[in-house]
Amino acid sequence: MILDSFFKALGQLPDPRFRKVLLMGVGLTVALLFGIYAIFLLALQALFPDTLTLPLLGEVTWVDDLLSWGSILLMLILSTFLMVPVASAITGLFLDDVAEAVEAKHYAHLPRVPRTPFLTGLKDGINFLGILVAANLAALVLYFFFAPFAPLIFWAMNGLLLGREYFQLTALRRLGPVKAKQMRKKYAGKIWIAGALMAVPLSIPLVNLLIPVLGAATFTHIYHSLGIPEDPA
């Protein structure tokens, strides 16, 4: 079910409507990563002057060149860690557009639903971002003590959190917040596995640029594959 949903999402890439949302998502993802990286770089440059004086080595003048020439590589490396909160932000912004494109092609028999109210989505997004940041900060302790298993811990934890967010936003469109939460708990295991499968490519530079939108499309398929009845309200 999960892999089938992902391949369906990939199969819709030729669809102009879906491709437009994907390109917009990639563009905004790059912009967010660049913005976060720019803040990081400014902080780094404020801490380290152009010329450093190190014991035994004396003056070192290559710091500025290193930051300039290595900036692209550094941003790609940082994207491994930064893409989880960025994916959350992109999902919140583009979920309705992605879901509408997927449903128009694969589930045209279903009635259309209103877009999620902006304030509702914003509230959920802010709450989730706080949980995401707190969980990843706490996980630093686990990474230290269980360093060989750090990637597995990262994927499992963020898969749990991302799966929760992806499914909650997807279900919210058709079920409302109360029933969406009930369904999320009912299918928690499948949602966790699907979220973990999304978290793995999120840690691969360049590939991770496509995952926020493809993940939203995948979870739209997963939601509909569960056969959850529409909310009569």
Per the CB < 8 A criterion, the answer to whether 173 and 110 are in contact is no
How far apart are the C-alpha atoms of 44 and 112, rounded to whole Å?
49
Q: Please report the DSSP string for 57-104 in residue order.
A: TEEE--HHHHHHHTHHHHHHHHHHHHHHHHHHHHHHHHHHHHHHHHHH
Supply the pLDDT for residue 32: 78
Residue 219's pLDDT is 93
Q: Work out how many domains the chain is built from and give that number.
A: 1
166 lies in some domain = yes
The answer as to whether 232 is a domain residue is: no
pLDDT digits (tens, 9 = 90+) for 62-102: 555 555 556 667 667 777 777 777 777 777 777 888 898 89
Is the pLDDT at 28 greater than 90, yes or no? no
Q: Which residue has the higher pLDDT, 159 or 116?
A: 159
Q: Is residue 231 part of a domain?
A: no
| Residue 40 belongs to a domain | yes
* 233 domain-assigned: no
The answer to whether residue 184 is domain-embedded is: yes
Read off the pLDDT band of 221 (50, 70, 90). Answer: very high
> Does residue 122 lie in a domain region?
yes
CB–CB of 163/114 below 8 Å?
no
The domain in which residue 129 lies consists of 2-225
pLDDT digits (tens, 9 = 90+) for 192-216: 999 999 888 888 878 888 888 888 8
Residue 149 placed within a domain = yes
pTM above 0.85, yes or no: no
Alpha carbon distances (Å) from 127 to 89, 120, 151, 216, 233: 12, 11, 25, 19, 26
Say which DSSP state 231 is in.
-
Q: Compute the distance between CA of residue 144 and CA of residue 65 in angstroms, rounded to an integer.
A: 31
Q: Please say whether the beta carbons of 183 and 222 come within 8 A.
A: no
Give percent of the chain with pLDDT exceeding 70. 81
